[in-house]
Chains A and B, each alone.
Chain A
Amino acid sequence: MLLVARLAPAVAGDATVTPVPAAAWAMVEEEARGQTVYFNAWGGDEAINRYVAWAAQVIKARHGVILQHVPLADTAEAVSRVLAEKAAGRTRDGSVDLIWINGENFASLRQAGLLSGPWVAALPNAPLLDTHGNPTTVVDMTLPTAGYELAWGSARYTLFYDSQVVLVPPRDPAGLLAWIRAHPGRFTYPQPPNFLGTSFLKQLLFLLSPELARARFAAPVGADFDALTQPLWAWLDSAHPHMWRTGRIFPASGPAQRRLLGDGEVDFAMGFNPAEASRAISRGELPGSIRGVFFSGGTLTNSHFLAIPFNARAKAGAMVVANFLISPEAQARKADERIWGDPTVLLVSTLAPGDVARFATLRRGPATPESVGRGFAEPHPSWIRALEKAWNRRYGVR
C-alpha cells in the first residue's frame, strides 16, 4: 500500500504515457506478491468467466497474485458495496480491489471520490494502448479517464439480424423504419434504462441529428434537450405501433432479446460486442443464419475499463492484474472469438512481431462484421439519464 502511494505522485498528472522506470514497477510487483485481488466483474457470461479463470491461473503462476473473480449479476452491486463501505467509514481494507466498469458507473464513482488513482500510467503495458486511433480508451463517455481507469476492451454498437428473413439489412434509420412498417411485430429493442436500450436511443439520436448538432452531445444536457431530441421521438412514435407487441412490451435486456431472436419471435437483436452473434452461433444458441451489421452513418463506440476503488486492500495486486490483462498475450486471447471475442484496446501495429502474429491469426466468425466505418464517441453521461427519463415519460407508462 505504502509503496503504491509513494509511486503515485511520480506518475500522476496527464494521461500521456511515458515509460515507467523498471525499478518502480518491480517494487509494485514485490508488494503485490501474495496479495489476493477481489475482481468484481459481471459474471453472467460463462465464456468470460472462463477467460478470467485462465488469467487467474497465469497471474498466480507468474506473479504470485491470487485473482479471485467475484461474479456480479450487475456491476451496480459492486458500486453499491463501495458506497456502503464509504457510508460505514471503511476507508481502507475495502472488499473490492478491482472492478470492471465504464461510463455512468465510472462517472458516479469518480464524482463521489470513490476511486483510487491516477495509477494507469504506472503500468509497463500502458504505452501499448491505442489512445489516438481509439480515443474511447482514454475518454469514457466524454469524461477523461485521467488515469483512474484502464481500458480493457472496446465495443461497437452492432445490429444482428436473421439473414434468412431479412435479405437486405437496413443500415440507416429511414431504412429501418421502412422495414419495421413492412414487417409488423418483428423488431424491438431492450427497454431503457437497460443500457443496450438506452444505447439504441443514443445511436438513433446521433444518426438522426444533423452533423453540426452532434458536437452538442459532448456537453451536458441543457434546455435545448427537447428540440435536439425531437427527431428521435418522432422516429420512435412512428416505429412503435409496428414493433413487437406494438411497442407496449420490450425485452428486459440484450440477452433477453437475443433469446427472442433465437426463438424466431423477432428478426433483430443488438449488442456492443460485434462477435457476440458468432459466438452464440458456435454455442448453438442462435441459428447459423444470423448476421451482424453496423449502421452506415456511423456506430456508437466505447470502451470498458478496470478501476480500483479508493479503499481497496490490494492496490498493488490490482495493478499487477490490470497490467497483465492489457498485455498482448491476454488481449489476443480475449479477442479470439473461440474464447471471448472482445476487440482489443492495443495498437496492434506497434507491437513486437511475435505479438502482432498473435492477432494476425485471429479469425472473424460468420456473423461478425468487419470493424470499419465511422465511430461515434458516447455523449456526455447526463444524456443517459435525460433520455431514460424522457423515454419513460413517453412510452414507459401505458
Chain B
Amino acid sequence: MKFLAVWVLLLSALLPVVAGLAGTVQLDTAAWSELFKTPGLVQSLTLSVWTGSVASVLALALAHVVLAAAVTGGWSGRLRAASLPLLATPHLAVGIGLTLVLAPSGLLLRFLSPWATGFTQPPDWATIQDPLGLALILGLVIKEAPFLLLALFAALGQVPAERLVLQTRTLGYGRLKGWLVAVAPLLQRQIRLPVAAVLVFGMTNVEMALPLGPRTPPPLALVLWQWFTSADLDMRPLAMAGSVLLMLASLGMLGLFMLAGRLVGRVWRFSAGSGRRVTSASGGLMPGGLAVVVGTLGLASIIALLLRSIAGPWRFPAVLPEHLDPAAWSSAASVLPGVAGLTLALGATTALLAVLLVLAAAEPLRSDAVLRQRVAMLLFVPLLIPQMSFLFGLQILLLKLRLDGTLAAVVWSHLVFALPYVWGLLAEARASLDPRFTDTARLLGAGRLRVWLTVTAPLLLRSTLLGLALAFGVSVAVYLPTLFAGGGRVATLATSAAAAMTAGDMRYAAAHGAAQALLPLTAFVAAVVLGRVVFRRRLGVPG
C-alpha cells in the first residue's frame, strides 16, 4: 500500500511500451529472411552504430569539458542561458537549419563567396549527407551536448563540487584538472541514464538523419521509416523485423558503452593517480573554443531557419535575401493560434500529471537510493527502445481500449517520455531535502499531509517548477508518439511542423518550428524567473 504511488507511476510509464512491443515483436521468419536480403542492410546498420556512438561520445566529452571550464571559469550562467535555445528547438528544425548553414548553397559559403572562393554557383560538394555521416554526427552533437549539459547541471546538485575543487586546489591542481579528476567522475555516475538515452536516440532517430544523413544507403532508422510509410502494406512486417534488429543493435551498443565506461573510469583513475599537476589557465581555452564553435553553429542554424522564414528569393551567393517577405508568418498566423493552444493545453496537462505522479512516488522512496535508482532505470526503458518498435503496437492497444485519437491517449504517450526526466530531477531533489525539517514539523504535531503541504512542497517549489517546464518541453517536442496516439486527429505544433517540413516550403515550416521552440523556451524562463521571485527573500533554499 505504501508503494501504491510507485506502482501507479511505473504502470503508466511501462504499460504502453510493453503492450506496444508485444504488438510489434512477432516471429515472422519470412520477414526476417527478406530483411537480411535487403541490399545495403549491413552498411545501413553500420552507419547507425557509427553516427550514433561517435556523436554520443563527442557530445558527452564536450559537455564535461565545457561544464568544467564554465564552472571553474565562472561563466556557467551564460552557458546555461546559451544552451536553452538549442535545447528547446526541435531536432528536425535544427537539422534543417544546419543544412541551411553547411550546404554548398548555405550561409557559410555565401559569406565567403565570391570574394574568397570565386564561386558564383554553389560548388558540387557533399558538405551535408556526406557518405561518412559527419554532418549527421555534427548535428547530433549540437543537439545532444546541451541536453547532457543540462543533465550535468542537474547532477551538480548531488555532488559537493565546490568542496572537492577546493581540496584539489589545496593539493596543487589547477582548477580545470582538479575538476576533471575529482568532480567529473562523480557527475558521470549521475548521468548514465541520460547518456544511454542519447546513444539510443543517436542510433535510431529520423529527425536528424532526414536532413543531414547519408543516402546511399541511409542509416537504418531512415530505411525503416521508408518501409513504415510505404504504400505497400507488405512492407510492414519487414519494417517491424527491422525495428527489432535496430533495437537489438542499440541494446548491444548500450552494453558495449557500459563496458567501455568502466574501462575509461579505470584509465581515468590511473592517470589521476599519476599526480601530474596542470595549473596553466590556458587549459580552459580549447574547450571554451569548441563550445563556441558548436554553440555558434547551433545558434546559426536557428537564425538561418528564421531568416529563411521571412526571406523572398535568395540566390547564391547573396548573403542576404533580395527582399524580406513576412507572408509565411502572416499565413501561418491564421492556423498557429489554434494549434499552439492545443499544444499548450496538452503540455500543461502532461506537466502537471508528471509532476504529481513523481512527487507522490518520490515520497515513500525518499530515503531509499537503491530503489530510486531502479525506478529511474525502469522509467528510462521507453527512451532506450527505438520509438518505432513499439508505437505501432501501442496504437493497436489504444484502439482496443477505444482511446485512440483522444487527448487522454496523447497525454499518456507524452507522459511516457516526460516521466524519466522529471523523475531524475524531482525524485533526487526530494531525497536531498534534509529530513530534519519534516521531523521537526511532525514533532510539533502536524499531520503527514500538512507537513507535506507546508514544509516539503515549498522547499521543492523551485525543482517542481523546473520539472513542470521539462515535462512541458518534452510534450511540445514529441512527434511520433503524438502522431500514433492522436490517431492523426490531434494536431500539435510538432505534427504540423513536420507536415510543413515535408512540403519543403521552408518559410512556412520555419514559422512552425520557431513557434514550437518558443513554447518550451518560455516555460523554462518562466520556471527560473518564478523560482527566483518566490525565493528572493529566503536564503539557502535548494534550487
A, B bound: yes
Of A9-17, A102-110, A120-128, the segment with at least 4 beta carbons within 8 Å of chain B is: A102-110
18 contacts between A and B (CB under 8 A): A40-B488, A44-B502, A44-B503, A44-B504, A45-B503, A45-B505, A76-B228, A79-B233, A83-B236, A104-B231, A249-B216, A253-B502, A264-B105, A264-B315, A265-B122, A265-B316, A393-B39, A395-B216
Contact B228 A81 (CB under 8 A): no
Partner of B504, one of A50, A105, A245, A256: A256
The complex places the Cα of A79 from the Cα of B126 at a distance, in Å, of: 35
A76 touches B216 (CB 8 A): no
Q: Which of A72, A112, A256, A396 contacts B216 (CB 8 A)?
A: A396
Q: Which residues of B contact A83 (CB under 8 A)?
A: 233, 236
A256 to chain B, nearest CB (A): 6
Judging by beta carbons under 8 Å apart, are B229 and A74 in contact? yes
Give B101 Cβ to nearest chain A Cβ, in Å. 12
Interface residues of A (CB under 8 A from B): 38, 40, 42-46, 49-50, 68, 70-81, 83-85, 87-90, 95-96, 103-105, 107-108, 112, 184-185, 191, 193, 244-246, 248-250, 252-256, 258-260, 262-265, 283-288, 385, 392-393, 395-398
With A73-B499, A284-B327 already in contact, the answer to whether A262 and B405 are too (CB < 8 A) is no
Interchain CB contact under 8 A, A76 and B230: yes
Chain B 86-127, CB within 8 Å of chain A: the 1/0 string? 000000000000000001110000000000000001101010
* B399 close to A70 (CB less than 8 A): no
CA distance A45 to B506 in the complex (A): 11
- The interface stretch among B180-188, B378-386, B489-497, B534-542 is B489-497
Identity of the chain A residue whose Cβ is nearest the Cβ of B125 in the assembled complex: A245
In the docked arrangement, what's the CA distance between A108 and B236, Å?
12
Closest to B511 in A: A46
Name the residue on A nearest B213 (C-beta): A252
- Using Cβ atoms and an 8 Å threshold, which residues of chain B touch A96? 488
Complex interface: chain B residues within 8 A of A81 (CB):
395, 487-488
B373 to chain A, nearest CB (A): 36
Distance A105 CA – B334 CA, assembled complex (angstroms): 31
- The answer to whether A87 and B506 touch across the interface, beta carbons within 8 angstroms, is no
Q: What DSSP secondary structure best describes chain A's contact surface?
A: mixed
State the Cβ distance, B26 to closest chain A Cβ, in Å.
11
Count of residues in B whose CB is under 8 Å from the partner chain: 63
Tell me whether A85 and B399 are in contact (CB under 8 A).
Answer: yes
Bound complex: CA A92 to CA B228 (Å)? 24
Q: Which residues of B contact A80 (CB under 8 A)?
A: 228-229, 236, 392, 395
Compute how far the CA of A69 lies from the CA of B491 in the bound complex, rounded to whole angstroms.
10
A264 to B122, CA, bound (A): 7
Interface residues of B in 468-515 (CB under 8 A from A): 483, 487-489, 491, 495-496, 498-508
* Interface contact A84-B216, CB-CB below 8 Å: no
Bound together, the chains give a CA A83 to CA B215 distance in angstroms of 29
Instruction: Judge whether B504 and A258 touch: CB under 8 Å.
Output: yes
| Bound Cα distance A40, B487 (Å) | 10
- Asked whether A396 lies within 8 Å of B217 as measured between CB atoms, the reply is yes
Chain A residues near B226 (CB-CB < 8 A) = 193
B233-A248 in contact (CB<8A): no
Q: Please tell me if the beta carbons of A72 and B505 are within 8 angstroms of each other in the complex.
A: no
Query: A284 vs B324: C-alpha distance in the bound complex, in angstroms?
Result: 10
For residue A255, give the distance in angstroms from its CB to the closest CB of chain B: 2
Among the listed B104, B488, B496, B504, which residue makes an inter-chain contact with A259, where contact means beta carbons less than 8 Å apart? B504
Q: Which residues of B contact A90 (CB under 8 A)?
A: 399
For B504, what are the chain A residues with a Cβ–Cβ distance below 8 Å? 44, 253-256, 258-259
Per CB-CB distance, the 8 closest pairs between chain A and chain B, nearest first, are A255-B504, A44-B503, A397-B40, A185-B124, A104-B231, A263-B105, A88-B399, A76-B229
- B364 interface residue, CB < 8 Å from A? no
Verify B314–A46 contact, CB threshold 8 A.
no
Residues from chain B with Cβ under 8 Å of A50 in the complex: 331, 334
Residues on the A chain within 8 Å of B43, using CB = 397
Given known pairs A76-B229, A84-B399, A287-B313, the reply for A392 and B40 (CB within 8 Å) is yes
Q: Is the CB of B232 closer than 8 A to any CB of chain A?
A: yes
Q: Residues of A contacting B495 with CB < 8 Å?
A: 71, 73
Does B400 sit within 8 A of A, measured CB to CB? yes
In the complex, B425 has a CB within 8 A of chain A: no
Of A89, A95, A262, A285, which one neighbours B487 at CB under 8 angstroms? A95
Is B325 in the interface zone, CB < 8 Å from A? yes
Residues of B contacting A287 in the complex (Cβ-Cβ under 8 angstroms): 313, 315
With contacts A77-B483, A262-B313, A286-B313 taken as known, whether A104 is within 8 angstroms of B126 at the C-beta atoms is: no
Bound together, the chains give a CA A191 to CA B504 distance in angstroms of 15
Residues of A contacting B215 in the complex (Cβ-Cβ under 8 angstroms): 191, 248-250, 252
Q: Using Cβ atoms and an 8 Å threshold, which residues of chain A touch B230?
A: 76, 193
Measured between alpha carbons, how far is A352 from B308 in the docked complex, in Å?
Answer: 45
Whether A265 pairs with B216 at a CB distance below 8 angstroms is no
The closest CB in chain A to the CB of B507 belongs to A285
A250 to B214 CA separation, bound complex (whole angstroms): 10
CA distance A288 to B312 in the complex (A): 11
Nearest A residue to B392 via CB reads A84
Q: Which residues of B contact A184 (CB under 8 A)?
A: 124
Q: Which of B335, B483, B489, B506 lies in contact with A49, CB distance below 8 A?
A: B335
Q: Which residues of A contact B126 (CB under 8 A)?
A: 245, 248-249
Structural contact, B229 and A260, CB atoms closer than 8 A: no
